[in-house]
Amino acid sequence: MRFNIHALDAAQQVVAVTLDAASEAEARETAGSRGLAVFSLEQDGRRRWQPRLARKSAFRSALFSIELRSLLEAGLNLVEALQTLAEKEPAGERAEVLSGMLAAINRGEPFSRAVATFPQHFSPLYVATIKASERTGNVKEALSRYIAYQEELDRVKKKVVSASIYPAILMIVGALVITFLMFYVVPRFAQVYEDMAHTLPFFSQLLLNFGSFVGKHGMALASGLLAAGGVCAWMLSRPAVRTALRERLWRLPALGSRMKVYQLARLYRTAGMLMRAGIPAVRALEMVEELLASHLRPQLRQARALIEQGHAMSAALGAAGLATPVAARMMLVGERSGDMGRMLGEIARFHDDEVARFVDWFTRAFEPLLMTVLGLAVGLVVVLMYMPIFELAGNIK
């Protein structure tokens, strides 16, 4: 059998070789005798499936962190843990990232610099957390902090997404039903009532006139709708348009305040994680600036300037308008205890729960309202279509 091997040579460079051997063990032994440290081995006959496997093994930093922490807790050192993960992924994007990190570490680079070489997979926050942990040598604790941070973010996202699924389905189905009635059923009813249009009720006449127009210009209307959808999609892809829409949403009294609370919760959680990793408050706030909405960033820069001038973090964020009453009180407690990082995490959890309760309440109130509106719209179209039949039946009696 032929095996494709990725390994580190004596110069600590990643090399790819092909060997003929009776088994995987023999292939590894042969590679080892040549001075190669194997971290990826696969049978050549499976090569044709590599593109599909590569797509399925896309790199995810959260999963990588969980697996790496488990191996470190089991007693493996960092290089052994990375080699184990690389052996588990024979091909694909994960294998490429892991082999690149192994190569960097074997060249003598620190782990933080190894992950920094893959910015598309590891955020600056991740790199900063690992770099801060290297001062104490406790990478496991840094991974645990990042995993907890990611789990909290995912928890809030899942609540928002799950609460939005049912209203979205209702809106899509309702729009499809109304579209079917207006562009398929109504034009056919218009043909039936064409000879008696002058005797129909006013609103039925309007509906059937619309149906006649759709029947005669259906292709033109369909093309116009597709073009309008394309224009809307293009406009939404423009950053300036999205920014303008967000600004309008922020101006809505009830929704804007909740959106700000959600943004502040992200600020508190991320800054808290960085501060617990040993990063100073000013530097932590500078790193989380990109997470905030654009109109909140000047306020964050103002808060950083106040902290640099010697003001307490609670006072600085409060003066900049980035501290809710609850957050200001809890930050004072954190400053007294000297554990501001942990306290910021608690503040973020409090506000995330508040946002989740608001989303749950909003969806519970919005779903029946949406069903009522859709039901009335469909019922109105049906009644206007059948009203002439009802009148004809009444005249016969």
Q: pLDDT tens, 310-330? A: 888 889 888 988 888 888 889
- Range 155-397 has CATH code 1.20.81.30: yes
Let me know how many helices (H) and strands (E) the chain has, helices first.
18, 3
Closest CA to 66 of 168, 186, 136, 151: 151
What pLDDT score was predicted for residue 245? 79
What is the rounded distance in angstroms from the CA atom of residue 198 to the CA atom of residue 205? 8
What pLDDT score was predicted for residue 196? 62
Residue 110 has pLDDT above 70, yes or no: yes
Residue 360 has pLDDT above 70, yes or no: yes
Strand-strand pairing, 37-43 and 14-20: unpaired
What pLDDT score was predicted for residue 259? 83
Ranges of each domain in the chain: 2-122, 155-397
What pLDDT score was predicted for residue 49? 36
Q: What is the pTM of this model?
A: 0.59
pLDDT digits (tens, 9 = 90+) for 5-52: 766 566 545 566 787 777 777 777 787 777 776 655 666 654 433 343
Q: Which long-range contacts (CB under 8 A, 24 or more apart) does 166-170 make?
A: 166/363, 166/367, 167/363, 167/366, 167/367, 167/370, 170/367, 170/370, 170/371, 170/374
Contact 77, 88 (CB under 8 A): no
pLDDT digits (tens, 9 = 90+) for 241-280: 777 777 777 777 777 788 888 888 888 888 888 888 778 8
Confidence tier at 162 by pLDDT (50, 70, 90): confident
What pLDDT score was predicted for residue 6? 62
- Of the listed ranges 103-107, 189-193, 229-233, 371-375, the one predicted with least confidence: 189-193
